[in-house]
Amino acid sequence: MKEKSEIAIKLTILKTLLITFFCCSLSFFCDAQLAGSKWKATLNVESGFDVLFSFSADTVQVLSFDDGSLVETMTYSYDDSGITLTKVDGQSECEPGKPAKYNLPVAGDTATFTVIEDSCDNRKYALDQIVMRKYD
């Protein structure tokens, strides 16, 4: 009887370790999809505005596609629940330091922002439902 309970405990520990490994791998995979990549999109503003989202390990710079000028710098974190963006500096009227949460499923060379929670109306309207396309 004692032998069976020891086996059950070992199986439970093994399952926990496998689940933890899977979750960490998934988080790493999601981060890897964005880190070091560039994505082109058109913001939802009057007459549209083409930008390039340039992702590093934990920062994203939004650049004007036409002339490469810096529009906004934000930190980000990305996991299975979406992307959290926090303004550091830039041209928007959003308050620095206030996080915004978006769903951002990546499917091949496209990703679509869908607002979950964002207290900055300007950013919310500019990003909601835009489709980014991977840019080489």
Q: Within the chain, which residues score under 70 in pLDDT?
A: 1-32
Taking the whole predicted model, whether its pTM rises above 0.85 is answered as: no
pLDDT of 23 reads 38
- Domain definitions of the chain by residue range: 32-135
Residues whose CB is less than 8 angstroms from the CB of residue 104 and which lie 6 or more positions away in sequence, other chains included: 78, 82, 83, 111, 112, 113, 114
Q: Which run of H or E residues covers position 34?
A: helix 2-34
User: What stretches of 1-136 adopt beta strand conformation (E)?
Assistant: 38-43, 49-55, 59-64, 70-79, 82-90, 99-103, 106-107, 110-112, 114-117, 131-135
pLDDT of 64 reads 96
Q: Which run of H or E residues covers position 122?
A: helix 121-127
pLDDT of 22 reads 39
Q: Does the domain formed by 32-135 have CATH 2.30.40.10?
A: no
pLDDT of 11 reads 52
